[in-house]
Structures are given as structure tokens and as C-alpha cells.
């Protein structure tokens, strides 16, 4: 929890200072949307879908926009060790990700095609659970800070 509060304070300070650097800033709630993403956590457990939302927070400068994003995904799988003829092992992992992202748009605002590149910081809250055929299991969770890179077109 202490890490989360520290990161929230730092992000707030960075965005507040950045907004004050430009007289042409237009900071505020500009739009809200949903998102669906393809997630492949690796480790041979297959892929899943992630669901989330995006908040457009306006612009610091005419070509530099701010966004906040959230994403949640969960993947569960089972394996049979062949001991009791069924699925003996069940494991699941989930992540909840909160991101603050700056995007630089390379084209003029008048254009319908707007390529962008950017980055930001993400807080990742993950949890892993396991169970061995009723013999017990465990749960592990952690919080991490990550650097996020983005690119694409609008």
C-alpha cells in the first residue's frame, strides 16, 4: 500500500508540473472508453482476454496528450499428474494494471490519421493461486511498478 501511495503522489506531481509548463494546455476529462486486449502471460498456460477502460485527460501541449488506463485479466488452467485419474493441479494468475501514459502525436490535429508514440508508468497488482487436488495450495501476491511504452495510430 505504501508503494501505491508513493507512486500516486509522484504521478500527480509530475502531471501537475507538466501541465503548468504550457500555456496551451487543455487538461481535464475529455472522454472515457473501454478496451479489450489479448494477453499471453507465457509459461505455456495459453492466452486470455483482458478488459479495461481508458480515460482521455486532455493535452499538455497541442501534440502531447495524457491518458489513464486500467486493465484486468485472469487465467486459470489445470493439469493432471495422473495420480487420481483427474485434474490434480489447478493454478490461476491475475493482474490489475493502472497506467498513466503520455502520447506524442506526430500529425496535425486536422488530420484524421494520427500516429503516436509514448510511454508512462504502470502499477501492476498481481496474484497467483494454486491447489493440489484438495491437498492444499497457496497464494502469492505482489505489487510492481513498470515502465510502459505505447505506439499506434488514432
Greater confidence (132 vs 22) lies with: 132
Total Cβ atoms within 10 A of residue 101:
19
Domain residue ranges in the chain: 2-153
The residue behind cell 495420480 is 83
Confidence grade of residue 84 (pLDDT, cut at 50, 70, 90): low
Greater confidence (97 vs 89) lies with: 97
**pLDDT at position 23 over 90:** no
DSSP assignment of 91-137, as one string?
EEEEEEEEEEEEEEE-S-TT-S--EEEEEEEEEEEEEEEEEETTS-E
Determine the Cα angle at 101 with ends 31 and 39, to 5°: 95
Residues 90-134 have pLDDT tens digits of 788 899 999 999 999 887 767 788 899 999 999 999 998 887 766
- The three cell numbers of residue 53 are 477502460
Amino acid at each position: 500500500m505504501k508503494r501505491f501511495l508513493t507512486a500516486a503522489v509522484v504521478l500527480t506531481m509530475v502531471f501537475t508540473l507538466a501541465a503548468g509548463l504550457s500555456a496551451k494546455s487543455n487538461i481535464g476529462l475529455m472522454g472515457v472508453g473501454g478496451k479489450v486486449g489479448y494477453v499471453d502471460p507465457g509459461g505455456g498456460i495459453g492466452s486470455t482476454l483482458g478488459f479495461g477502460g481508458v480515460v482521455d485527460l486532455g493535452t499538455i501541449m497541442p501534440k502531447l496528450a495524457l491518458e489513464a488506463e486500467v486493465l484486468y485479466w485472469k487465467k486459470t488452467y489445470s493439469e493432471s499428474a495422473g495420480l487420481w485419474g483427474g485434474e490434480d493441479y489447478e493454478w490461476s494468475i491475475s493482474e490489475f494494471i493502472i497506467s498513466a501514459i503520455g502520447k506524442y502525436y506526430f500529425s496535425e490535429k486536422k488530420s484524421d490519421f494520427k500516429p503516436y508514440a509514448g510511454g508512462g508508468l504502470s502499477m501492476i497488482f498481481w496474484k497467483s493461486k494454486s491447489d493440489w487436488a484438495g491437498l492444499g495450495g497457496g497464494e502469492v501476491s505482489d505489487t510492481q511498478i513498470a515502465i510502459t511504452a505505447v505506439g499506434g495510430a488514432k
